[in-house]
Structures are given as C-alpha cells and as structure tokens.
Amino acid sequence: MPDPKKPRAPFAPWDRRELPGSFTVEETARRVGHYKWVEMRLFEVLGGWVATVPELDVKMRFGTHCYKHAWHSELWHKRLPELREMNPDRLTLPANDAMVEFMEALTAPEGEDKTLEKLVGVYRVLIPRKIAAYTYHRNNTSTITDAPTIRSLDFALHDEFEDWRDGEMLIQSLIESDEDVRRAADHQAKLESIMVRAGGIAGPGSIGTAEVPTVAEAHA
C-alpha cells in the first residue's frame, strides 16, 4: 500500500515541465508591451494600404490581415494589466529608436507602383521577425505560471504563419522579371539592416541572443 507520507514529485512521470521560465514578470511585461506596439502599428499600416494599393487581391489580403493584428494588439493589451497591474500605456512602446526607424522605412513606399515593396517589407522581413520572437518567447516561458501568455502566443503564431504564406504567394505572383527580383532584394536588404540594429521586434534578445535590460533600464 502506498505510503501517503512519502514525498511525491510535483508532476506526473510523463510531465517534465519546470516551474520557472526564462523571463521575470518585468521582462514578460516589457516584451508584451513591445509586441502590442508592433501589432498596433502593423494594423494601422495595412489598413492604410487597403485604400491605396491598386491590386484587388492584395487589397483583400491587407484588409483581412490588418484586423488580425488589431486582435493581437488586444490580446497583448489584456495581458499587461494581469502582470502585477503594470500600466499598459507605459509599457506600450517600441523596443528602441531603430524599431521606430524600421516602421518608418516599412511605410515609406507610397506610390501605386510600390506594392511589391510593401509586401516584401511586411511578409519577408517583419512577419518572419515576429514569428521568431513569438516562438522564442513561447518556448522559454513557464507553461504553469505564464499559461495565458502562451495561449495568446499560440493564437498569434497561427495567424502569423497563415499570413506569411499568403504574403509570400502574393510576392511571387508579382515578381515577373529580373528587375522585380532586384527591387524585392534591395528593399528587403534595406529593411533587414535596420531590423538588425533594432535587435528584433522586442529589441536585443528578441530570440535570446543578447543580454536583455529590465523594464527600468530599457525606458530610463
């Protein structure tokens, strides 16, 4: 008969999760605030482009995708107050000046003949960077203490992968010549250079490759 006083492992033998994750509450809040800022800006960008791009298929995809990013922003907004009642507005900030520069460069192509550049910026640079940061966060946070954030990340990642596929197919449909290839590559390289300086959508350490400052250090 089992001894009821014998210490037992906290989880079943097949469950090898660990209680602590890689992030403090402050670090999670900082990251989520940056995610929210990016999602808000992308919603605004795609929504604005709906009225200006001439290609109907692209217009329809932008219209569909922009509301997904609005919803993601709401998900992150709802997470922030739960994190020790931290102020959502104070934390809803770009990771750094380079991230602001990136968003400005992303929106710079304005002409009706710049649809390819618009698509490349979002679907070959920004969306992949979002997927990388969200995946890193999901794989390195606690499945016990941070389960609501994991749920939000899962929802967002599902949308991001679908939108990435849609965007890449649109890009391929628009690349019809060597000149189109050059345009796409040049614009991607320009934006990637800025993103590298930003360190990712959550700043240096977005995918765990650098020391990450605390909330106070990041916004001192």
Query: Which residue segments constitute the domains of the chain, with CATH numbers given?
Result: 25-204 (1.20.1260.10)
What is the pLDDT at residue 8?
Answer: 66
Q: What is the mean pLDDT of residues 119-129?
A: 98
Cβ neighbour number for residue 143 with a 10 Å cutoff:
13
Tokens of 74: 């709401």
Q: Residue 133: name the closest of 42, 204, 190, 218 by CA.
A: 204
- Only one residue has tokens 């990013």, namely 69
Which of 208 and 18 is assigned the larger pLDDT? 208
Q: What is the mean pLDDT of residues 90-96?
A: 92
Q: Residue 133: name the closest of 6, 25, 40, 39 by CA.
A: 39
* pTM of the predicted structure, to 2 decimals: 0.85
Q: Please check the confidence at residue 157 and state whether its pLDDT lies above 70.
A: yes
- Only one residue has tokens 């037992």, namely 8
Q: What is the mean pLDDT of residues 57-65?
A: 97
Q: Please check the confidence at residue 119 and state whether its pLDDT lies above 50.
A: yes
Q: Please check the confidence at residue 87 and state whether its pLDDT lies above 80.
A: no
Percent of the chain whose predicted confidence (pLDDT) is above 70: 85
Tokens of 20: 């602590």
- pLDDT per position as a tens digit, 129-151: 999 999 999 988 888 888 899 99
Tokens of 28: 């999670």
Contact criterion met (CB below 8 Å) for 131 and 206:
no
Q: What is the Cα 58 distance to its own chain's centre?
A: 21
Q: What is the Cα 31 distance to its own chain's centre?
A: 10
Which of 27 and 83 is assigned the larger pLDDT? 27
